[in-house]
Structure 1
Amino acid sequence: MQTTDDLQKLLNILPSEIQQVLEQHSECDRLVEVVLDLGRRPEARFPHQAEYLSEQVVTRAQIQDCIDRVGDFGGDNRAGIEQTLHRISAIRNRSGEIVGLTCRVGRAIFGTIAMIRDLVETGQSILMLGRPGVGKTTALREIARVLADDLNKRVVIIDSSNEIAGDGDIPHPAIGRARRMQVARPELQHQVMIEAVENHMPEVIVIDEIGTELEALAARTIAERGVQLVGTAHGNQIENLIKNPTLSDLVGGIQSVTLGDEEARRRGSQKSVLERKAPPTFDIAVEMLERQRWVVHETVADTVDALLRGRQPSPQVRTINDEGQVTITREVPSLSPVRRPNAPAANDSFSKTSSQSTGQLLPFPQNLSRSRSLAEVDRELPPTEALELSGHQPLRLYLYGTGRQQLEQVISMLNLPVVLVEGLAEAEAILALRSHLRKHANLRHLAQAHDIPIYAIKSNTTPQITRTLRQVLGMPGLEAIAEPDFDLAADRNDEGDEMDALEEARLAVEQIVLPKGQPVELLPRAAHIRKMQHELVEHYQLQSSSFGSEPHRRLRIYPA
């Protein structure tokens, strides 16, 4: 990465004694900001430490001398230095006099967006989130340059505080061919955003610090006109935006929906739940946790839906090393429940382990339909081969819907190396009754997320249990368990499943959508079954749409 900072221009506005100390400082090239407060010692801040620069306190004359060397302070109490990216922020007393200055070093760092360059080139709108100082504005500046210079797009930057393109009428070279529109007062930023689209025909709009409801509304208006948006917002994570009524429109907006009895039972939730109101303004969200570690939510709509339903999303985690090599991994959801906004904690279904735990829960509930914090998904596990047991350790088996007493008798009679455990977090395999397993997709979803195989038995009989346990343990002389009777995926596609799906759609329309005028979301289904559901909904002169990714794709029915 290449860095340019014009640091000497910032040092030149400081009092001479402070300037000399900084110029001789070994960490000068890593300086973040200089703080001058009236009656206090001057302080220099570096990425991981802060230190005083003098034993003498700052005087009013020194502060005034600094003010005289910089530009005028705007309505946001910020000023800059001509042709640089440095920012000087003022603290005023009750009389309006400046009694403190924060002199922030602005750096143009080329190559900062290597982690997400592939996303920038897709043309989708991107929202950057992160704490102050993590590099959001620096990333925006580089994104604007790449889009304008490398991809030859018409880029307009809405620069409310001259942070992106620097102070003065001539923008800093770091933004390349991108154009910059300055904002006279911070409260007018939303007007300048709309003006940019109407007057200058941009293909991309770059916005820093979307912080008001009017700015969020303007961003949605721009996105609906087909313009790519790249912006930052206040908040470290998407959850912060969901809880922020001012900015929630950026992720689609949140509304309260009352579910029917059947739908509430199916979801295992209260009848009054929160749902996403509209498509998000931004397609992609990037949480900048650290300068070299970003979390990428490739589909904001899916992430928001998952969080509102109490599910943990599974975003990408992108890191970059000093050589510029980018590593992409996938964050696996933990077993710990996500707290739904305005929803009670699921204490009736779960109890946490000790503080050393990594989020796994013990014991796992026997009645999953009561769980208010797990997603109901429709993913089938493939047939599993016999497990390889390490050394002579017994197999730790978790039961779901099967007879414990019969199982203990079989284990004792055959002297099998199996130990029954009370919690899913301790298990190496799951033994479940097939009829129970089909009704509750929760268990299959968690099992797949944590790579725990599930073995299904057709009935609670000794022969069935014996055959299954021997196959799990790889004991020879027995026929395989994965015969057609036990193939759950095939069983879901039979005629009975189609009838169940159509009946589910009919009840949803007649009991909820038509009489109550509320949208309803159905269970995940195969593509050909969803098509049948769409056709059924059309007979009622209603609209429906499929959303989500396979195998979780499902139907949503809308009121007229």
Structure 2
Amino acid sequence: MPAARVTLADDLDLLLAVMPRNIRAKIEENPQYHSLLEIVLDLGRIPEARYPGSIEELSEHPVSLEELNYVVSRVARFGDDNRAGIERTLHRISAFRNRSGSVIGLTCRVGRAVFGTVDIVRDVVESGHSLLLLGRPGVGKTTLLREAARVLADDFGKRVIIVDTSNEIGGDGDIPHPGIGRARRMQVPTPGNQHGVMIEAVENHMPEVIVIDEIGTEAEALAARTIAERGVQLIATVHGNTLENLLQNPSLSDLVGGLQSVTLSDEEARRRGTQKTVLERKLPPTFNVVIEIQEKDRLAVHHDVASVIDYSLRGFPFSPEVRIRTGDGSVEVHKPQDRDEAAPAVEAAGPARGSWAAHRRGKRKNLRVFPYGVGRVRLERAIRNLGVPVVVSADAEKADVILILKSQEKRQSKRLREIEARGVPFHLIRSNTATQIENFLRSIFSLQETGPVEEIALQEAEVAMIKVLDEQKAVELAPRNSGIRRLQHLLADQHGLRTESKGREPYRRVVIHPS
């Protein structure tokens, strides 16, 4: 793809205008002034300015109630979601309140209109297909949403309506920010009424495109399906980092077709090589295309969501198309077949490992693995994460290798002895964890294995995630270096959990939060 030109508009002077004079002056002295992310004002604490990779203290004195009231009096009225803004800007002011309702803390987040970011997926936006954006907070979902609305309204003359629940797309005030171009904006009185405004937009204003930030409830998912069935293009964001996360969310999985349990006939089960009860897609997806925003300049595009889900449910990993914006602004597109064609070369490059190597060589492109006492879902997830040519076998006799828990192997059940007698090689793992399973796959394909420190850190993260899911409370991990923290963040992301890094080096550590 040709190079894209990305420009910024931040209206930073309007945000600083509502700050106390001493805080404003301190920020303006900083060389990183134009990369400011947010200003944090908490009663009784030192005020802070946060920049990419650093935090600056803005005063020697703690924030006073008078300083908080100074800011509150100069911004718009706070809504039910404790958010306010500044007229015709994208800045967002979020409040902490005490039990009596008084403001005791403010997070003043800088909002920037970024022009040119949509070029990485412009062809998808122009296709007319409904498009769903996934990604962690702060990765750029809303920015891409705003740009898509502007391009469709200005460059293609389409009737675009933005349902702007938190005013993050069109900014605060009655007149929207120019970053949305000719698109029109409908504000939402309370977050709980978003689904009603979505339907109202279709019934009253005849849009060709509806843009929605943060579909988060079953009612909003149902409203989205109703809109799509009327032939309107939808472009929206949703909670979750990956398509797999979304499928596991019972309230929102309908957006991509949902899942249902189906009982097959004996003949069909034999033909598929599966159990009689299987999961299948329930409905046509509301959104034809899903884009996972992995990093600001790296996106994974699932072009045909229905096929992706159908293939995955039958045990065939389906790789997305990956798009990367390079340093010079051009976009590299890596199609799924590019990676699939490279897989045999990776396999051939490594030395033969274990007694299964000769058994496998020359038989088929994909290695067939039968999990014995090992979680099938975890194995399938590990295969997708590493992108290796492996298929989960439903028949032990037809497998190239049996992946088995050490505790199961010790029991030597009759079934296990029968499999062993047929000469199918075994590979033992100590525990049914994602780390152990991925290390098994790495050893087969000569990929770099995690060392003992990394393995301990990842196992610690897995135990913490179970606790977070069970108790719905945040768990703090032990301090680790930046490389290991990144692995812990990625592992939690794959399970749909939120993470943050806390503290200063060498005591910086990951905190895992409920989704």
Note whether the superposition's TM-score is higher than 0.5: yes
Taking structure 1 as reference, are residues 197 and 35 closer, same or farther at Cα in structure 2, changes over 3 Å only? Answer: same
Q: Secondary structure at the match of 2:241?
A: coil
| Deviation of 1:35 (Å) | 1.2
Matched, 1:115 2:144: no
Q: Secondary structure at the match of 1:8?
A: helix
* Equivalent residue letter for 2:209: V
Q: Which residue of structure 2 lines up, in the alignment, with residue 254 of structure 1?
A: 259
Q: Which residue of structure 2 lines up, in the alignment, with residue 495 of structure 1?
A: none
Matched, 1:78 2:83: yes
Taking structure 1 as reference, are residues 96 and 306 closer, same or farther at Cα in structure 2, changes over 3 Å only? Answer: farther
Taking structure 1 as reference, are residues 344 and 53 closer, same or farther at Cα in structure 2, changes over 3 Å only? Answer: same
Number of aligned positions between the proteins: 374
Matched, 1:94 2:99: yes
> Are the equivalent residues in 2 in contact too, given 1:90–1:98 (CA < 8 A)?
yes
Taking structure 1 as reference, are residues 366 and 165 closer, same or farther at Cα in structure 2, changes over 3 Å only? Answer: same
Give the number of the structure with larger relative contact order, counting CA–CA contacts within 8 Å between residues 6 or more apart. Answer: 2
| Residue of structure 1 aligned with 2:398, choices 359, 368, 382 | 368
Taking structure 1 as reference, are residues 424 and 207 closer, same or farther at Cα in structure 2, changes over 3 Å only? Answer: same
* Equivalent residue letter for 2:21: S
- The CA distance in 2 between the partners of 1:57 and 1:309, in whole Å, is 59
Q: Which residue of structure 1 lines up, in the alignment, with residue 144 of structure 2?
A: 139
Matched, 1:54 2:39: no
Taking structure 1 as reference, are residues 363 and 187 closer, same or farther at Cα in structure 2, changes over 3 Å only? Answer: closer
Q: Which residue of structure 1 lines up, in the alignment, with residue 281 of structure 2?
A: 276
Taking structure 1 as reference, are residues 262 and 83 closer, same or farther at Cα in structure 2, changes over 3 Å only? Answer: same
- The CA distance in 1 between the partners of 2:378 and 2:181, in whole Å, is 57
Structure 1 residues 371-390: aligned runs within 5 Å: none
Alignment RMSD = 3.3
Q: Secondary structure at the match of 2:332?
A: strand
Taking structure 1 as reference, are residues 372 and 206 closer, same or farther at Cα in structure 2, changes over 3 Å only? Answer: farther
- The CA distance in 2 between the partners of 1:67 and 1:139, in whole Å, is 29
Q: Secondary structure at the match of 2:235?
A: strand
Q: Which residue of structure 2 lines up, in the alignment, with residue 20 of structure 1?
A: 25
> Are the equivalent residues in 1 in contact too, given 2:316–2:391 (CA < 8 A)?
no
* Equivalent residue letter for 1:65: Y
Q: Which residue of structure 2 lines up, in the alignment, with residue 230 of structure 1?
A: 235
- The CA distance in 2 between the partners of 1:360 and 1:21, in whole Å, is 55
Taking structure 1 as reference, are residues 319 and 100 closer, same or farther at Cα in structure 2, changes over 3 Å only? Answer: same
Q: Which residue of structure 1 lines up, in the alignment, with residue 496 of structure 2?
A: none
| Residue of structure 2 aligned with 1:178, choices 170, 183, 186 | 183
Q: Which residue of structure 1 lines up, in the alignment, with residue 202 of structure 2?
A: 197
Q: Which residue of structure 2 lines up, in the alignment, with residue 65 of structure 1?
A: 70
- The CA distance in 1 between the partners of 2:55 and 2:63, in whole Å, is 17
| Residue of structure 2 aligned with 1:329, choices 314, 325, 334 | 334
- The CA distance in 1 between the partners of 2:262 and 2:237, in whole Å, is 29
- The CA distance in 2 between the partners of 1:266 and 1:304, in whole Å, is 20
Taking structure 1 as reference, are residues 267 and 44 closer, same or farther at Cα in structure 2, changes over 3 Å only? Answer: farther
> Are the equivalent residues in 1 in contact too, given 2:369–2:392 (CA < 8 A)?
no
> Are the equivalent residues in 1 in contact too, given 2:145–2:169 (CA < 8 A)?
yes
Q: Alignment identity in percent?
A: 57
Q: Secondary structure at the match of 1:367?
A: helix
Q: Secondary structure at the match of 1:36?
A: strand
Q: Secondary structure at the match of 1:119?
A: helix
Taking structure 1 as reference, are residues 311 and 153 closer, same or farther at Cα in structure 2, changes over 3 Å only? Answer: same
Q: Which residue of structure 2 lines up, in the alignment, with residue 207 of structure 1?
A: 212
Q: Which residue of structure 2 lines up, in the alignment, with residue 448 of structure 1?
A: none
| Deviation of 1:64 (Å) | 1.2
> Are the equivalent residues in 2 in contact too, given 1:339–1:345 (CA < 8 A)?
no
Q: Which residue of structure 1 lines up, in the alignment, with residue 312 of structure 2?
A: 307
- The CA distance in 2 between the partners of 1:186 and 1:372, in whole Å, is 50
Cα deviation code 1:33-67 (max 9, x no counterpart): 11111122212222333332223211221111110
Matched, 1:37 2:42: yes
- The CA distance in 2 between the partners of 1:172 and 1:258, in whole Å, is 53
| Deviation of 1:369 (Å) | 6.1
Cα deviation code 1:327-363 (max 9, x no counterpart): 00035468799999xx96249999x99xxx9867799
* Equivalent residue letter for 2:256: V
- The CA distance in 2 between the partners of 1:349 and 1:105, in whole Å, is 41
Taking structure 1 as reference, are residues 305 and 52 closer, same or farther at Cα in structure 2, changes over 3 Å only? Answer: farther
> Are the equivalent residues in 2 in contact too, given 1:268–1:371 (CA < 8 A)?
no
Q: Secondary structure at the match of 1:143?
A: helix
Q: Which residue of structure 2 lines up, in the alignment, with residue 164 of structure 1?
A: 169
Q: Which residue of structure 2 lines up, in the alignment, with residue 148 of structure 1?
A: 153
Q: Which residue of structure 2 lines up, in the alignment, with residue 345 of structure 1?
A: 375
Taking structure 1 as reference, are residues 54 and 66 closer, same or farther at Cα in structure 2, changes over 3 Å only? Answer: same
* Equivalent residue letter for 2:279: L
TM-score by length of 1: 0.62
Q: Secondary structure at the match of 2:39?
A: strand
Cα deviation code 1:406-426 (max 9, x no counterpart): xxxxxxxxxxxxxxxxx9748
- The CA distance in 1 between the partners of 2:242 and 2:370, in whole Å, is 15
* Equivalent residue letter for 2:133: M
| Deviation of 1:14 (Å) | 1.6
| Deviation of 1:305 (Å) | 1.9
Greater CA radius of gyration, 1 or 2? 1
TM-score by length of 2: 0.67
* Equivalent residue letter for 1:242: L
Q: Secondary structure at the match of 2:175?
A: coil
> Are the equivalent residues in 2 in contact too, given 1:208–1:233 (CA < 8 A)?
yes
Single out whichever of 49-58 and 100-109 deviates more from structure 2: 49-58
Cα deviation code 1:368-390 (max 9, x no counterpart): 369999xxxxxxxxxxxxxxxxx
> Are the equivalent residues in 2 in contact too, given 1:349–1:370 (CA < 8 A)?
no
Taking structure 1 as reference, are residues 369 and 127 closer, same or farther at Cα in structure 2, changes over 3 Å only? Answer: same
- The CA distance in 2 between the partners of 1:65 and 1:19, in whole Å, is 13
Matched, 1:316 2:346: no
Consecutive unaligned residues of structure 1, counting only runs of 5 or more, are: 374-401, 405-422, 427-560
